[in-house]
Amino acid sequence: MALNEKQNNSVPDSHPRYQSLKFRHKIIDGMKNLVVAEAGLIAHGRGECFDYILGEKTTKTARSAIKAAIAALLLAEKPVISVNGNVAALVPNELVTLSKLLNIPLEINLFYHKEGRIKAIEDVLTKAGAADIKGINEDKMIELEGLESSRRKVELIAKADIIMVPLEDGDRTEALKKLNKKVIAVDLNPLSRTSLWADITIVDNIVRVIPEMIKKAKELKKLDKKQLEEIIKNYNNKLNIQNTLDLIIEYINKQKEKALEDVKL
Ligand code: ATP
Tens digit of each residue's pLDDT (9 = 90 or more) over 162-200: 999 999 888 888 888 988 999 999 999 999 999 999 999
Residue nearest to ligand 1 atom 12, measured at CA:
169
Alpha-carbon dihedral 218, 221, 226, 227, rounded to 10 degrees: -20
Indicate whether residue 155 lines ligand 1 (CB < 6 A).
no
Q: How much is the pLDDT for 265?
A: 53
Alpha-carbon torsion, ordered 65, 67, 69, 73, to 10 deg: 180
Cα(98)–Cα(90) distance, integer angstroms: 14
Q: Is 205 in the pocket of ligand 1 (CB under 6 A)?
A: yes
Give yes or no for a contact between 200 and 232, defined as CB atoms under 8 angstroms apart: no
SS (H, E, C) 138-169: HHHCEECCCCCCHHHEECHHHHCCEEEEECCC
Q: H/E element holding 6?
A: helix 5-10
Q: How far apart are CA 77 and CA 213, in angstroms?
A: 19
Cβ(186) – ligand 1 distance below 6 Å: yes
* pLDDT exceeds 50 at position 97: yes
State the pLDDT confidence band at 262, using cuts at 50, 70 and 90.
low
- What CATH number has the domain bearing residue 262? 3.40.50.12640
For residue 81, give the DSSP letter.
Answer: E
What pLDDT score does 26 carry? Answer: 95
Structural domain boundaries, residue 122: 1-233+242-265
200-202 vs 79-83, strand pairing mode: unpaired
Query: Exposed/middle/buried for 91, CB within 10 Å: 0-12, 13-18, 19+?
Result: buried
> Does 64 sit in the ligand 1 pocket, CB within 6 Å?
no
* Ligand 1 atom closest to residue 205's alpha carbon, by position in its atom list: 28
84 CB near ligand 1 (under 6 Å): no
Return phi, psi of residue 182, to 5°: -85, 135
Ligand 1 midpoint to CA 223 (Å): 32
- Mean pLDDT, range 52-75, rounded to an integer: 97
Compute how many other C-beta atoms are within 10 angstroms of the C-beta atom of residue 156: 20
Mutate to test the pocket of ligand 1, among 42, 46, 53, 195 (most ligand atoms within 8 A of CB): 46
Relative to beta strand 162-166, strand 79-83 is: parallel
Strands of 88-150 (E only): list them: 106-108, 142-143
The amino acid occupying position 98 is L
**Is 8 a residue whose pLDDT tops 50?**
no
DSSP strand pairing (153-154 vs 162-166)? unpaired
Of 108, 109, 81, the C-alpha closest to 95 is: 81
Q: What is the pTM of this model?
A: 0.92
- Please report, rounded to a whole number, the percentage of residues in the chain having pLDDT higher than 90: 71
> Per the structure, how many domains does the chain have?
1
Question: What is the arithmetic mean of pLDDT over 127-146?
Answer: 86
pLDDT of the residue at 264: 59
Residue with CA at minimum distance from ligand 1 atom 26: 205
pLDDT grade, residue 257 (50/70/90)?
A: confident
Instruction: Give the relative orientation of helices 206-220 and 60-75 as an angle to the nearest 10 degrees.
Output: 50
Mean pLDDT of 208-219: 98
261 CA to middle of ligand 1, Å? 33
- Taken as a whole, the chain contains a residue count of 265
Residue of minimum CA distance from atom 31 in ligand 1: 47
Atom of ligand 1 nearest to the CA of 196: 3
Ligand 1 centre and the CA of 189: distance in Å?
6
| 100 Cβ below 6 A of ligand 1 | no
Question: Is the beta carbon of 44 within 6 A of some atom in ligand 1?
Answer: yes
Q: Is the distance from the beta carbon of residue 169 to the nearest atom of ligand 1 less than 6 Å?
A: yes
- Comparing C-alpha atoms, which of 166, 170, 191 is closest to residue 50? 191
Residue 238 has pLDDT above 90, yes or no: yes
Q: Is 28 exposed, middle or buried (0-12, 13-18, 19+ CB in 10 A)?
A: middle
Residue 40 CA to ligand 1 centre (angstroms) = 9
